[in-house]
Structure 1
Amino acid sequence: MAEKENPKWAGIGSKFAHLTAAHPCFGVKAHFTVARIHLPVAPRCNIQCRYCVRKIDKCEQKPGIAACIMDDEMALKRLEAEVKSNPSLKVVGIAGPGDPLENEATYRLLGRIKESYPDLILCLSTNGLLIEDVADKLKDCGVRTVTVTINAVDPEVGSKIYEWVRYNGETLDEAKGAGLLIQKQFRGIEELVKRGVVVRINTVLIPGVNTHQIPRIAEEASKRGASLMNIIPLIPQHGFKDHRRPTCQELEEARKAAEKHLPQFRLCRQCRADAAGIPGKEGGSGATSEYFHG
């Protein structure tokens, strides 16, 4: 079902028209006309996904990759240069390469950007573990959109996807860690929505592992106020290096099943943590669309 044919899109289009028109990761038209920049200031992560590899690399076009980790001043200079050179820039995101909420630099930088560039849309991606704890902080920093990566609703399934979860100094393995993470993710969505933040869900489709979970993820997220969902294919690496990618048919079937509960964004191209440019344009860094790493 095309986005314009799904009645659920009418709601997101009217309620968040200012964002869907200006955010290339939320609106189809904006995807081809609006630029965004990701500032890689967040190296630390509090979970280990079996599909995730984080590293410093100048060439690889994969999630969790950045040419360097920037400090506040480097990031602000990078943003200043992009603002001057690219009049279509409207969105600044922090997407890793770790989890932004685990890194204090995220909050410092967002606060400074809010003061210096009040017209830019501030967004970030997260695995959701810490949202409930820092929701007020995010609102104060000016964050308007958050993408939460949720890959399961059942801890047993989550245990196949997450190696460990670290919270409040304690490292939890497999099902116990996955159970805490899932609980915190859905609570976090509720807290963001209460504060007027627009929430999108990212889900990595892992064939034979979480395929059956995807409609339930969409349903539970929708109940808590999420506005949009982005289902992306597994990139086989790390613990899933020998696992196959989903087929195009499997990906579309998952999207159609989830679309009963949440509108689906279908243009994601799984970009680096330091991507910049217009996602939908070919060539250069702008060709790498956004993947909100979780």
Structure 2
Amino acid sequence: MSEYLEIPELNKAFPFRSFVNEGEVLVYPHWHKEIEIIYALKGSLNLGVNDMPIQLNEGEIQVINGGDVHYFLASPNSERIVIQFDLSLFQEEMQMDGQNQTLREMLTEMAHLSREWPEETVSKMQSLIMNIHSESSSENPGKYYILKADLLAIIGLIYREIPQIKTQPDSVISEEAVLKSQETLHKLDQIFSYVEKHYQEPVSLQEVADYTGFSTYYFTKFFKRNTGMTFVTFLNDYRLNKAKWMLLNEAFPVTEVAELAGFSSVKTFHHAFKRAMGVAPLKYRKTIYGNN
């Protein structure tokens, strides 16, 4: 599956963010230079890092290094805290540190999955993650001092307590599960590529199912299970995203945008756009341009 560069919307003065994801929908394979820490608050998550499928169980933590390609399959009834931060936050500390191994090297060679860590270290990391997430959503005085102190404490755990491991542990997931996950990603990639090529044309559930070699019934179940949405919703969202891009980057009239984005009529486009965005397409364009 093709991966893409993600640029998280971080505060330039303090490049960090924390949020909760409920795991209902697929997160496509992507990468970014920021470090990402995933804490499974509830249920089990199905993710992959650099083509290695991982099942993250409740209470477990996964550290994803900057530049690592990662994805999340739909994991209903799950909840995770996501923390992202840029290493530029620790520029002063890195300049003062006289360690033989740099922070980047430590992050590369550490055991990234918490089931490989000492229990006490896991407990410390869980507490730090909860503190960071709580503090990030507050307006408490000294908020950024507390956040940086807790993030530095995480770096301290990486240096002092989290073991190093050169290769991914064999216990992450079975070979059978690896193959199944790779097959799933291959099928999803087939579907996404088909939509990318044909979204401007009428696209039926039957023809996409035929293209992937599935019955319509199985295709419908497969797509919903692995992306968290119906195919019709996905196709509609894809067309809307194309339309939004054109509204902001091209001078096409709305009628042409509707046609180029693959909508059957201007009326259908208006209805879908307003339901998704809360405003009509033309007003959306004027509002965005008016704020710039």
- Asked if TM exceeds 0.5, the reply is no
Give the TM-score, by structure 1 length.
0.26
Bigger Rg, which one: 2
Report which structure shows greater RCO (CA 8 Å, sep ≥6).
Answer: 1
Give the TM-score, by structure 2 length.
0.26
Q: Going by fraction, where is helix more abundant, 1 or 2?
A: 2
